[in-house]
Amino acid sequence: MTGTRALSKFWMLTNDFTQNPFPVLEYVRRESPVRELSMPGGGRAWVVTRYEDAKAALADPRLSRDIHVHFRLMSERSGRLLTPPAEEANHLANVEPPRHTPLRRAISFAFTPRRAEALRPKVEQIADELLDALVAGPVPDLITGYADPLPVITIAELMGVPASAWPDFLRWSAALRNYSPTDGSGVLDANIQELSSFMAELIARKEREGGEDLLSALIHAAPERRLTPTEILSTGFALMTGGNDTTASLVGGVISALLTHPAQRAELLASPARWGKSMDELIRYVSPISNALQRVTTEPVELGGVTIPSGEVVIISVMSTNRDEEQFPDHPDRLDLDRHKPAHLSFGFGIHYCSGAHMAKVITEIAARRLFERFPDVRLAVDPAELRYQQNVVVRPLEALPVFL
Ligand code: HEM
């Protein structure tokens, strides 16, 4: 068992934690479920690890996701005058009510499970084309060749971006991956500026011409739900920043889990109707979100018996909640497709609950199903113990997933 003294003050930010966080989180849940963490640049955060505390935190309006609240705290801590986040980052994921309410209403109305379901044939086609390209390579890597591009192209398709712009979209999305709106540089990388101009032109064109896609639905919404062009642009950024890396991390994680759990993989392939029912357990087990979700306290808040002062960063460890033995008493570390109610928090909880949850499930199901249907003998090209996770504070992608197809 890991002892208290074995945990460094940066305990959640070490490479050992990244590679296998679950034993440490199990210890923290038991011994100090709301625990301090030192930040490398100075200052501290509080990590919430138990399921019930996490749900309470995510439902508490005194814990803010507002990007400007975060930004002010970062400015105070650094003691420098930083440039505020760009307009594109002012989207629904980064604001709180009352600003959040109309943005959320607009997207909830336009981005329905039905719209996600309608994309199934297109997602299958994109998945198949990516698999065709992988067959041609030497040792195919399912991260760079499959899990990474599939969500980017699907979200581009969802927004009505023409296929001719997909190569640019892949480049722009790679730049978005490294963009931090609260780092205080205020500078948009040239790639992100190109993306922003492209989106502004696309929105203007859809305003004139209409279309069947999500952007057109937002633009031509009923007057009481209509957003301004700037709000639609930032909503587009929310879809990309919220959907690309998260879904890539989930797709890679689910495929790797099924490559290392042959019995569960066989069960799914034998009865395809089980994919939909098993998806929540796969998402709980894989937990594609790492050290997120982050909030800042705007008043003192008591969580799990600990009073967190005002103006502090709180990290809600979804990874930990998904393995909480109080919530999942029956072997939480096991992938059990028959688990009763795998009510995980991987898509968050409360007003910021993931807008793309249904779309993400569709993409992940198709990605895994098409791979295993087309290549029934697919197997890892390395020992499972050699698989490495990328060091990333938000998501939990594998560095590579090399396979023999
Ligand atoms: C097509 C893919 C996806 C899209 C378009 C998408 C989009 C979004 C958007 C727009 C929000 C902000 C909602 C709001 O603030 O009201 C959000 C929140 C969130 N998404 Fe997604 N998402 C996708 C996939 C995923 C995946 C695969 C995961 C992880 C399993 C995920 C986890 C979350 C979480 C945890 C939040 C809440 C964040 C918080 O409360 O701090 N998303 N998503």
Q: To 5 degrees, how large is the angle CA 288–CA 243–CA 180?
A: 90
Atom of ligand 1 nearest to the CA of 359: 1
Q: Ligand 1 centre from 266 Cα, in Å?
A: 30
d(CA 268, CA 258): 10
Q: Ligand 1 centre from 8 Cα, in Å?
A: 31
Neighbours of 373 (CB within 10 A): 10
Q: What's 380's DSSP letter?
A: E
d(CA 225, CA 202): 20
Residues with Cβ within 8 Å of 133's Cβ and at least 6 positions away in sequence, in order, are 145
Round the average pLDDT of the chain to a whole number and report it: 93
Q: Are strands 34-38 and 403-404 parallel, antiparallel or unpaired?
A: unpaired
Q: Ligand 1 centre from 293 Cα, in Å?
A: 11
Q: Ligand 1 centre from 356 Cα, in Å?
A: 6
Q: What is the pLDDT of residue 1?
A: 45
Q: Ligand 1 centre from 351 Cα, in Å?
A: 11
Question: Could you say which residues of the chain have pLDDT below 50?
Answer: 1-3
Q: What is the pLDDT of residue 185?
A: 63
Closest CA relative to residue 123, chosen from 91, 103, 150, 105:
150
CATH superfamily for domain 4-404: Cytochrome P450 (1.10.630.10)
Q: What is the pLDDT of residue 291?
A: 85
- Helices then strands, each counted (H, E), the chain: 16, 9
Atom of ligand 1 nearest to the CA of 116: 1
Q: What is the pLDDT of residue 148?
A: 97
d(CA 272, CA 265): 11
Closest CA relative to residue 142, chosen from 119, 177, 244, 150:
150
d(CA 365, CA 162): 24
What size, in residues, is the chain? 405
Atom of ligand 1 nearest to the CA of 363: 1
Ligand 1: residue whose CA is nearest its atom 17: 354
Contact 339, 80 (CB under 8 A): no
Alpha helices in 112-182 (DSSP H): 113-118, 120-136, 149-159, 166-177
**Residue holding tokens 């060091």?**
391
Atom of ligand 1 nearest to the CA of 65: 41
Instruction: Tell me whether the omega of the peptide bond preceding residue 33 falls within 30 degrees of 0, making it cis.
Output: no
Ligand 1: residue whose CA is nearest its atom 16: 352
Atom of ligand 1 nearest to the CA of 250: 27
Alpha helices in 178-261 (DSSP H): 190-209, 214-219, 229-259
- pLDDT tens for 26-78 read 999 999 999 999 988 788 999 999 999 999 999 999 999 999 999 888 888 88
Q: Strand 34-38's sheet: what is its strand order?
A: 34-38, 44-48, 313-316, 294-297, 63-64
Report residue 21 as tokens: 């966080």
Query: What's CA 313's distance to the chain center, in Å?
Result: 19
Closest CA relative to residue 392, chosen from 2, 10, 35, 19:
19
Q: What is the pLDDT of residue 2?
A: 46
Atom of ligand 1 nearest to the CA of 155: 1
Ligand 1: residue whose CA is nearest its atom 20: 354
- Ligand 1 neighbours by CB, cut-off 6 Å: 65, 92-93, 104, 155, 238-239, 242-243, 246-247, 250, 283, 288-289, 293, 346-348, 352, 354-356, 359-360
d(CA 64, CA 57): 10
